[in-house]
Amino acid sequence: MPDTLALEGALTRLDRFTIEVPSWGFANTGTRFGKFLQAGAATTLEEKFADAALVLALTGVTPSIALHVLWDLPRGLDGVPEVARLVEKYGVRAGSINPNLFQDQEYKFGSLCNPDAGIRRRALEHVLYSVEIARLLGCRDISLWLADGSNYPGAQSILHRIGWLETALLEIHSALAGDQRLLIEYKPFEPAFYHTDIADWGMASHLARAAGPRARVLVDTGHHYQSQNIEQIVAWLLHLGLLGGFHFNDRRYADDDLTLGSIDPYQLFRIFHEIPSTDEAEFANVAFMLDQSHNIKGKIEATIQSVIVAQELFAKASVVDHSRLAELQSAAKTVEAEECLRAAFWTDVRPALTAWRERRGVPCDPLRALAESGYVAKVERERGSRNAVLQSSYA
């Protein structure tokens, strides 16, 4: 079992581990069968910043909030000063900028891959516009999730769409300023059910390489085939210098967007295990972000719970005895190597985390602190009437 020294080292690494929360994690979301509306859900950008500020205050490790261009900056560039004001007011940085290429009716047959050149152009311009917003807000990362695809065999030319995509990403990359990065996300299906233009890490990494050196791949842990080995993909992306970051969540079946670690905590532990936290510069290149759909759990509650789980599993991965493990792996001592890894997983890091939180001046038990704060009850009263307008949950 890891000794005190190992735990100390783990906690040091924990000091560098921050997580970005998504603005939409505080808003009402659901499934196609409906949303279960929460009276305290955030509807304005300021409410999202306020909620994010609370999560930061209670956990100490979520310094930034991911923004969604269409939902959070509906007025586009004109919305930038307001974001700047909220950043200043709430002490939460603007994080990754997320263009939206799936919501407009004209994207029915695709955005950057639409067979209509005019629509492709408008989609491209939306992304370029998002890059500009990011530049003005000083945001490093543009997170590109493309819902493009088709639902029926023969409906679209898979091959032509690859070409259109490459062209568009090249143009987007050339618009990046300074140290900005383009993070390319992949997803096997949904909302497209026959083919999705960026379906797996292989496609995303080829596209990133073709786009340019500041394009990287974004791994959403829920965007894989059943049984696919995600930690191996992470190892490959690190090997290729292409790992840009994570959208964290958990899933059992499809892209369920459950809170991370809720279904398979051992897997998330193994993902953390692949990321060498010792190289500070490379570690800083990996953006850790939540991207979940809090339909059943309370929005803020779910966010805080997820942050805690991420910290616990990261801490467990940090107490792995790497030198001993490397030796056992070299000697192909299967059982002993496995037990070496597993010893870290079974280590109860909760007491150490409590101590770490005390040192950082945040509540030892952030979930209890949330309950005791009365914040949720307060915002339910304040925001409830606005949320009640929505009569039905059916999507």
Residues 85-124 that bind its own copies (CB under 8 A): 102-105, 108-109, 114-116
Phi, psi dihedral angles at 93 (to 5 degrees): -75, 155
Restricting to residues 296-335, which ones interact with its own copies according to CB under 8 A?
Answer: 296-298, 301-302, 305, 312, 325-326, 329-332, 334-335
Please report whether residue 235 would count as binding its own copies according to CB under 8 A: yes
Contact letters (x/-) for its own copies, 34-73, by CB under 8 A? xxxx------------------------------------
Residue from 48, 126, 140, 195 binding its own copies (CB under 8 A): 195
Please report whether residue 190 would count as binding its own copies according to CB under 8 A: yes
DSSP 95: E
Question: What is the separation of C-alpha 186 from the centre of its chain, rounded to a whole number of angstroms?
Answer: 12
Least gap, CB of 44 to its own copies (angstroms): 17
Give one DSSP letter per residue of 233-266, joined into a string: HHHHHHHTT-EEEEEE-B-SSSS--BPTTSS-HH
Please report whether residue 272 would count as binding its own copies according to CB under 8 A: no
Please report whether residue 240 would count as binding its own copies according to CB under 8 A: yes
Beta bridge mates, 250: 258
Phi, psi dihedral angles at 278 (to 5 degrees): -80, -30
How many residues make up the chain in this entry? 395
Residue from 75, 179, 227, 374 binding its own copies (CB under 8 A): 227
Least gap, CB of 120 to its own copies (angstroms): 12
Least gap, CB of 9 to its own copies (angstroms): 19
Give one DSSP letter per residue of 271-285, joined into a string: HHHHS-TT-HHHHHT
The arrangement of strands across the sheet holding 215-220 comes to 21-22, 64-68, 93-98, 141-144, 181-185, 215-220, 243-248, 287-290
Least gap, CB of 319 to its own copies (angstroms): 12
Nearer residue to its own copies within complex by CB, 88 or 394: 394
Q: How many residues bind its own copies (CB under 8 A)?
A: 107
Restricting to residues 360-379, which ones interact with its own copies according to CB under 8 A?
Answer: 367
Residue type at 10?
A
Please report whether residue 282 would count as binding its own copies according to CB under 8 A: no
CB hemisphere CA count around 29 (13 angstroms): 17
Least gap, CB of 371 to its own copies (angstroms): 9
Token pair of 140, please? Answer: 């490093």
Token pair of 35, please? Answer: 């949303």
* Cα dist from 35 to 28, 260, 391, 395, whole Å: 7, 20, 11, 7
Query: Considering only 15-23, 50-58, 234-242, 283-291, which stretch makes contact with its own copies by CB under 8 A?
Result: 234-242
Least gap, CB of 198 to its own copies (angstroms): 10
Residue from 85, 89, 121, 350 binding its own copies (CB under 8 A): 350
Least gap, CB of 332 to its own copies (angstroms): 4
Question: Using CA atoms, how far apart are residues 89 and 46, in angstroms rounded to an integer?
Answer: 10
Residue from 89, 121, 342, 360 binding its own copies (CB under 8 A): 342
Please report whether residue 256 would count as binding its own copies according to CB under 8 A: yes
